[in-house]
Chain A
């Protein structure tokens, strides 16, 4: 048994030193400066393994992969290019960076300002849902259902109150987050036109929700990178200080939604 443990440790160490665990699994192709990129990733992910997910190729000769980090709202994107050296990009709401390589694989790093997913509207009474808000949800270990919706996707409006009621039945905090591409007036008008009863109801009372709690625009790098804005509604779940990697895309009936949330709860225990 001890021998096996030792062998595993040695194997684990040697795998680690070759950086095999740090590159995206799909990137089995050879590319320029691979060794240097492996080393760079090894430093970045010394404590947590990356979870690479491929995203749309930025161009015909470039494959792009994204991964979250241990820090909410901090993401890396690796762009592997066929005939040129790769790029490693860092995104967060406070700073960004682009690490490129010379032909001899020497690194050059350019820093940039933070990534702003939605700009605050002048005079609007809306706030945004940021990585700080998401981080607080996780720190507080809230069990929450994040419902990303858009007035431009009809079902995300009409199913809003049903999903909210389902979340409440499950004792989950319901957090609506608005499409960052729209303005609050458009969202408010769409809700009104669709005749959605958005009142917050409890056993003894009911009230109109404040604009702030209903129309928080998405301004979270974490949710953007998790593809929250590709389709509406998209649902995320948090519990026990974690956000589930899985997202629920489109309208699900109560049975499928409950089943999926049960599975996700089980995964995050």
Chain B
């Protein structure tokens, strides 16, 4: 499967996912809907990278709108960016993490990825789905390289209303000593992917303690509600009127809408839109969306409390790399199942780092500490 949807420069050293805008370069977000869409401006993160002397290699494949975790519903190679990094074809890649897809890809390919603290990297120029949680993150061969690129793209952006002003104070130095750090292993999510990491941390002099955190399942359900609702709303702009795919068969505006969207969206996107419409509808808002917002606050409280005692949470980033074929009608549920590993960081906006196949989640603005933990792991397991 093709790794690039659009190639820009064979000698470029950074790949950019196709749901991040680069001026004048087509941006499909992996969807037939945007086959012909050429953006008028670049994402702030892209501007910052090129201003710092990095060159773009091309637009890497993603699942449709970044919703897909498996690639089962997508013709695209959803590990495209991670595998380019693994091959050494590029130094780093920018990806949108909205439901854990790049975290999962990095874990499968054995490279490093950081989803930074929400609000520290501008979201201006993302083909948005889940504005309240999605973030641009960096895939790189190791923590030090990820830290280098992240420090370039991070910072306040007046074009993003949720961008945080005092970001410059965050330290992306990943050389902090990890000896004596306390890591909590989340019992509910344990799988054998974690064993090597636990041994490596113990060898490096960090403490690993098992904790129970059933809130991860509440986070999983609540995040599905929030991201689906926001995705429904954000994708409603793709209506065939202004740009993107337009059906040839229409006699009035309703047929234009329905025909264009039916033809252009894939199954998972449609399922997400239906689910998102339901949770926002009259009478359902209070019991679904509003409740999900309350759960978000509860999860933040619980994690904040844990971070008073622990430096990071250790959990897997995925269940298994390969999936046997399953009926496409199950795609939405499959994605939901798999998101148990990634939802806590998505819904809280807390930073998460994937390295050596495992995931570390930390407190707000502790991106540097997570990168240091990732670096220790890379060193121990090398």
A and B interact physically:
no
Interface residues in chain A, defined as those with a beta carbon under 8 Å from any beta carbon in chain B: none
Interface residues in chain B, defined as those with a beta carbon under 8 Å from any beta carbon in chain A: none
